[in-house]
Amino acid sequence: LFRMAAASVRFADIEIGNFVNIIDDESVEQFSALTFYPNGKIFVAYRGTDDSIAGWREDFRMAFLTPVPAQRHAEEYLSRAAENFDGRIVIGGHSKGGNLALWAALNASDAIAERIDKIYNFDGPGFLENVWESENYARIARRIVSVIPSGSVVGLLLKYDTNYKVTKS
């Protein structure tokens, strides 16, 4: 996939870096992220749940624990990415990755939050607490793009943002 992307006109000039992949059964955490550098911006991409036991156990813990380790890692990752780059920021992820993208944006410093253009949440679950009524949500709400498939289960779990688009899939 990387070779094909590098050979394409659309993706040939995009640099990729800062890959992080943490899977720890003992501390029950699964986190993965990658940064893309297109057109003078950065795109911070968070991966959803993999097939590890740690990943699934952490997902279940999201029903009664906030923040889970992956959410803490997401905050730290965004902060480090923003420190090392001066431009605009786009964040996104699918499933658990969408939740991590939202969590990182919601908990970003004011300086970082001002630099965020969009937060893409593709079928990510909500949160245990109602962050949708917080000041942090208000400062980024207009930049959130949440998309869930018409048969979604994951994207409607926990307390979720009621402002989302439904797509047929």
Any residues with CB less than 8 A from the CB of 90 and at least 6 apart, and which? Answer: 41, 42, 43, 44, 116, 117, 118, 119, 120
| The pLDDT value given to residue 106 | 95
12, exposed or middle or buried, with CB in 10 Å at 0-12, 13-18, 19+? exposed
| The pLDDT value given to residue 157 | 63
Distance CA 115, CA 168 (A): 32
Q: Which residues of the chain have pLDDT under 50?
A: none
| The pLDDT value given to residue 105 | 97
Distance CA 15, CA 9 (A): 14
Number of residues written out for the chain = 169
Model pTM score: 0.91
| The pLDDT value given to residue 83 | 94
HSE toward the beta carbon, residue 93, CA cutoff 13 A: 31
| The pLDDT value given to residue 151 | 78
Distance CA 35, CA 77 (A): 10
